[in-house]
A and B are shown apart, each in its own frame.
Chain A
Amino acid sequence: MALGVLALLGLKDAGGPVKADTIEEKAGVCASCHGANGVPTAKNIPIIWGQTEGYLYLQLRDFKKGARQNEVMSQIASTLEKDDMKALAAYFAQKTWPVLDQPAASDEVTRIAKTVNSSVQCTSCHLERFQGNSTVPRLAGQSHDYLVKTTAEFRNGVRGNNPGMTSLMKATPEDDLVKVSTYLAGLAGSY
């Protein structure tokens, strides 16, 4: 389906330029998956509206470099120049983070997530209530299925663009990571 979408959007395959000029047009290309109102169109697609600017830029850079790989995003990023990436990052960072309809975690899941946090000190980087800053992403209220997927992929090495996060995920039991994802997804709203 993914490549079909690209074709629909008028994107050429790997290497072709994004056929859009203004930043709005360029960003419009992203809406079919990341949502016209910031709510992603599928559960395993991450929220990028209101995500931290430095982080968004580095992900696009890494998709293009190949340090992070994903069939769809690698192809899209391959068409972007550094200035486009910076502009897109700035554009999406100043949007409002959308609220997904995700339940708050149960007390038991919350307890486990807090134990993981006190052990690995996630909030020493992701900051209070997982709001993130600059190159460290916001996690609070991120799409649940995406969080489960990406923490597992840090852990098993499929996502290789941050060995530090890989080490920390390896140091945390896989089951706990799913619970942490549930907890994070349920932290809605900004604080």
Chain B
Amino acid sequence: MADPRRYHLSTTMLAAAFAMALSGPGYSEEIKSATKFGDLSSVTQDLLTHASSDSSNFLHTNGDYGQSRFYPNSQINTTNVAKLRPAWIFQTEVKESLETSPIIVNGIMYVTTSFSHVYALNARTGEEIWHYAHKMGPITTFCCGPNNRGVAVADNLVYVATLDAHLVALDAHTGKTVWDKEVADPEEGYSETMAPTVAKGKVLIGTNGGEYGIRGFVKAFDAKTGNLVWTFNTVPENSVGVWAEKDLTGRDMHRDIAAEKAALAKLGDPYKTLGGGVWQNPAVDLETNRIYFVVGNPSPDLDGASRPGDNLYTDSLVSVDLDTGKYICHQQYISHDVWDLDAVSPPVITQVADKDGKPVKGILHAGKTGHLYVHDAKDCSLIRFSEAMVPQENMWALPTKEGARMLPGANGGVEWSPIATDPKQGLAYAINLHQPMTYSVESSAYPSGKLWLGGAFKVIPTEEQWGNVTAVDYNTGKIRWQVKTAQPMIGGILATAGGLVFTGEGNGLFKAYSSENGSLLWQFQAGAGVNAPPSSYSVDGQQYIVVGAGGNTQLDYKRGNAIMAFTIN
């Protein structure tokens, strides 16, 4: 790993030049705060590239470009985690759903809240350094809460994507806006809740809007200027595909292909309003210059009548070229989805055993279906899928007027929650929901940017709901261990070199388990739902675990406004 001091001088000077250009005489103060709180200006591409072996920072939403969520520090471990205590608690101004992945750079932490606020905190004390309150435009359209999942950092800029579909670059020292670009028109149903990813001078961002008849995309913006570099439409102009009758696991989806073909002849290709949001960060492979991301559901969610065909590339793993955004490969999980059992949890790049047991570069994705899918990174093809992590019943029963019961419910399985991995153990850790629902269908015309579900998914109030934490051996597809939780799980999970996994629950419990066998080693009651992915970092040689406790809008878990850091002392 690079010595951060090597970059200190030049980047500080650069920062000074920046500050001067922006705010004139104010710059000397900013330099002072930089030395007080550590070197804020050292997020080089080199640091970002080698994040997986960085045991003091947490530089990417999911830890590193491969999105392993494996933190290489073992100071907090199975033998001492019982002594984990709160180091500090920071209260944000916003008491709503918290889904932020804290990013930590040389002792400075960046967190976000609902409605796209950003805070810079002293990671040792929880003291606020600055607060950016985005001036929200009058129109925002979002389906599942006014969430924000965090920032990306590079050089001396902090990037946040906002609910009104803007991408904003902030000065890391001051929180002042450096540039602000509209990613797409919120009146047409676009919004941003995901954290951006920065790689090789480009800021990558997807979009929400699969519930509003958008045409999804991943866009790359120039990190310095905010100019658009490329756009990859997640729905190609020919979205019809191969009329797949089975899902990727081989189960019949009961499509009426003849009716769909007739609809296609009459209506034409539905690509313009077909949805295909991208909810979570792409995994980046700098060796091959590719990115991998998953694409969400087609619009309208439950009604396939107006959208004949496979609806490419909805419900798919997709890979494109990092420099150009050109298509490389894809694999669709569910063609012509009418259940919203789409692909949202961010994919992970890691070495896996192929069908012959040979090590190859693989891609993992945990689906709302409850399967962990293992792909070959070369061509996106499926190597295997895991045992189901949650009950599956009546798959694939088509939605009806009255509502058909099928498991899993439309939230999964695994929702947007990122998985964690432990490459040495060959395990992936996923958090799941069991939330029985009925699926009903109801046709309606495209309502120009308004909510367009094509029916309803209804939780069955009389049935029990629960969740679980599951460890899957991705080289075999077998479940290694599984722990049931009192409520459906949403948020995320972190694995560490200390032999631990950390994850929180809607009832406020934040827990540490043995990553090897799932035994519960520590827990803490946070007072509000812990439904955000944890991060880890160290300052002055001391390791911390940090997580947001703000509850969740989508599952209506108790709201709060706390960022909590834990350490052993």
Set B96, B146, B442, B447: member contacting A162, Cβ < 8 A: B447
- Do A121 and B459 contact each other (CB < 8 Å), given the known contacts A133-B146, A134-B136? yes
Most chain-B CB neighbours within 10 Å: which of A93, A124, A163? A163
CB distance from A92 to the nearest CB of B (A): 12
CB interface residues, A 159-174, toward B, < 8 Å: 161-168, 170-171
CB interface residues, B 446-496, toward A, < 8 Å: 447-448, 450-456, 458-461
Q: Does A127 contact B (CB under 8 A)?
A: yes
Question: Which residues of chain A are near B444, meaning CB under 8 Å?
Answer: 163, 166-167
Q: Does A128 contact B (CB under 8 A)?
A: yes
How far, in angstroms, from A168 to B300 measured CA to CA in the complex? 13
Interface residues contributed by chain B, number (CB under 8 Å) = 38
Interface size range on A against B: 20 to 34
CB distance from A48 to the nearest CB of B (A): 15
Q: Does A9 contact B (CB under 8 A)?
A: no
Q: Does B253 contact A (CB under 8 A)?
A: no
B556 pairs with A171, CB closer than 8 A: no
Q: Does B403 contact A (CB under 8 A)?
A: yes
B459 pairs with A133, CB closer than 8 A: no
Set B450, B461, B555, B559: member contacting A164, Cβ < 8 A: B450
CB distance from B560 to the nearest CB of A (A): 11
Question: Which residues of chain A are near B207, meaning CB under 8 Å?
Answer: none
- Do A124 and B553 contact each other (CB < 8 Å), given the known contacts A133-B140, A134-B139, A167-B442? yes
The count of A-to-B residue pairs whose CB atoms sit within 8 angstroms is: 105
Q: Does B145 contact A (CB under 8 A)?
A: yes
Q: Does A115 contact B (CB under 8 A)?
A: yes
A134 pairs with B138, CB closer than 8 A: yes
A157 closest partner in B (C-beta): B444
Interface mask (A94-133 → B, CB under 8 Å = 1, otherwise 0): 0000000000000000000001011111011101100001
CB interface residues, B 137-173, toward A, < 8 Å: 138-141, 143-146, 163
With A134-B136, A134-B138 already in contact, 5 other A-B pairs whose C-beta atoms are closer than 8 Å: A57-B139, A119-B459, A162-B447, A163-B453, A168-B453
Q: List 29 A-B contacts (CB under 8 A).
A: A58-B450, A67-B448, A86-B138, A89-B138, A115-B461, A117-B556, A118-B461, A118-B556, A119-B458, A119-B460, A120-B459, A124-B555, A125-B143, A125-B451, A127-B553, A128-B559, A133-B115, A133-B140, A135-B139, A162-B450, A163-B300, A163-B450, A163-B451, A164-B211, A164-B453, A166-B444, A167-B440, A167-B453, A171-B442
